[in-house]
């Protein structure tokens, strides 16, 4: 049986002040459910919540939360909120 290659630990993330404010504004506007979940994922990760706790809270899977966090770290908030 082959073992999966372990993924590196998610480094956590801290939103920039302007990104935090942008997410607050977007959360008050009408959004699709997918976008709203991504906004909430980023906010919860910024609060220091774990990947598993964040996934459970928004009704998503851990890999999805990880991908959104990694996209934010790589390219910023606008990319993290859009489909890949």
Decide if 10 is inside a domain. no
Decide if 6 is inside a domain. no
Q: How many residues does the chain have?
A: 84
Write down the pLDDT at residue 17. 96
Decide if 54 is inside a domain. yes
Written as one string, the DSSP assignment of 2-69 is PPPPPPPPP------HHHHHHHHHHHHS---HHHHHHHHHHHHHHTT--HHHHHHHHT--HHHHHHHH
Decide if 53 is inside a domain. yes
- Per residue in 13-51, pLDDT (tens digit) is 899 999 999 999 999 999 999 999 999 999 999 999 999
Write down the pLDDT at residue 11. 78
Decide if 50 is inside a domain. yes
Domain limits at 39? 17-81
Look up the pTM and report it.
0.87
Decide if 8 is inside a domain. no
Say if residues 36 and 60 touch (Cβ distance below 8 Å).
Answer: no
Decide if 3 is inside a domain. no
If pLDDT is split at 50, 70 and 90, which confidence band does 12 have?
confident
How many domains is the chain built from?
A: 1
């Amino acid at each position: 049986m082959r073992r999966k290659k372990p993924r590196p630990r998610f480094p956590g993330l801290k939103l920039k002040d302007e990104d935090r404010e942008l997410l607050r504004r977007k959360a008050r506007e009408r959004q699709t459910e997918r976008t709203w979940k991504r906004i909430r994922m980023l906010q919860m990760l910024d609060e220091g919540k774990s990947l598993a706790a964040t996934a459970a809270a928004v009704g998503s899977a851990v890999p999805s939360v990880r991908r959104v966090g990694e996209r934010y770290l790589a390219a910023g908030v606008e990319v993290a909120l859009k489909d890949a």
